[in-house]
Amino acid sequence: MSTIPVHDSLIYIMVTMSMVDRKMSNLELSRIGDIIKSLPVFAKFDENRLTEVSKTCGEILQNEENLSTILNIAAELPENLYETAYALAVEVAAADLHVEQEELRFLQLLRNKLELDKLVTAALERGARARHQSG
């Protein structure tokens, strides 16, 4: 069992999604902040720790086996949070209305690592697209 708190693991997934294409947009950063402030899964998270947790994730991503480490951390989440983790990654990817190949690849790796159903992930992806459309 991992010693990484659930909140930290979920933030690692969001930060990784934002950084996987080598550019962290302001829209993505803003979306991560909004998610942490609004979703029940983060109700007990101390928002003052966000910078520290994000920095730790950045350090993990500097290592050679960076994505594997993040995926292994994701797999150590309680199983009932697997879909939540994927949904959070999709939300960050959709924030700037443009999903890069690297982001699609990370979503595929995450989906496979967590053994998520393709119909469920397709629904999560479509929902995020719908939420981020402008008039």
| Residue 21 pLDDT exceeds 90 | no
| pLDDT for residue 65 | 73
43-99 pLDDT, tens digit per residue, is: 999 999 999 999 999 888 887 678 899 999 999 999 999 999 999 999 999 887 778
Range of the domain at 82: 6-132
Residue 114 covered by a domain: yes
Residue 94 covered by a domain: yes
Residue 1 covered by a domain: no
Rounded to two decimals, what is the model's pTM? 0.91
Residue 18 covered by a domain: yes
30 token code pair:
């803003």
Give helix 118-132 / helix 101-113 axis angle, nearest 10°: 140
Residue 116 covered by a domain: yes
Q: Which amino acid is at 108?
A: Q
Distance (Å, whole) CA 130 – CA 120: 15
CATH number, position 107: 1.10.3680.10
CA 2 to chain centre: 18
| Residue 1 pLDDT exceeds 60 | no
CB 117 within 8 A of CB 84: no
The helix, strand and coil proportions of the chain, stated in percent and rounded to the nearest 5, come to: 75, 0, 25
| pLDDT for residue 134 | 73
Residue 65 covered by a domain: yes
Residue 67 covered by a domain: yes
Count of domains forming the chain: 1
Give helix 26-38 / helix 82-94 axis angle, nearest 10°: 140
Distance (Å, whole) CA 36 – CA 6: 13
| pLDDT for residue 2 | 56
31-52 pLDDT, tens digit per residue, is: 899 999 999 999 999 999 999 9
Residue 20 covered by a domain: yes
| Residue 10 pLDDT exceeds 60 | yes
